[in-house]
Copies of this chain bind each other. A is one copy, B any other.
């Protein structure tokens, strides 16, 4: 099911880009495919490195430019998890369960989790504030089980 969803994401992204008048290209497709395969966050450098190991090499500038477009179209979400660089993950279509992140201070790994009560509270909160809330991130920081003790 993961794989099905992944394929969907890349396909949906390609379609959206085409609709918006963007042209197809091998490097861009490779980036989309890789992002679609992610269950959690990756940095621009991660993407470039991963692709470099494969057959399709992609310049880091292209990775950034592609991510910029995807972010504008809300196909990926940019996250600042406190590391050196920004990280990105495929955005979930509206209403679908999306997750948040626990970041380990020791190993730096980001571990995704979801929680319905949390979403509900944030929903209510959004209504209480006068502002229009378009997106939200919850970041927990601490020590993960592997690094514990």
Q: Which residues of A contact B (CB under 8 A)?
A: 78, 80-82, 102, 104-105, 111, 113, 115, 117-118, 121-122, 124-126, 128-145, 148
Contacts and interface: CB of A to CB of B under 8 A. Distances in A.
A145 B121 contact: no
Contacts of A104: 131
A107 to B, nearest CB: 11
Interface centre among A104, A111, A129, A135 (most CB of B within 10 A): A129
A134 B129 CA distance: 27
Nearest to A148: B132
Contacts of A102: 129, 131, 133
21 contacts: A102-B133, A105-B134, A111-B131, A113-B125, A115-B125, A117-B121, A117-B124, A117-B125, A121-B121, A122-B138, A130-B145, A131-B145, A131-B148, A132-B142, A134-B142, A134-B143, A135-B140, A135-B141, A136-B138, A137-B138, A137-B139
A77 B131 CA distance: 24
A131 B144 contact: yes
Nearest to A137: B139
Contacts of A78: 82
A123 B140 CA distance: 11
Given A113-B129, A118-B122, A125-B115, A138 B135 contact: no
Contact of A82 (B80, B133, B142, B143): B80
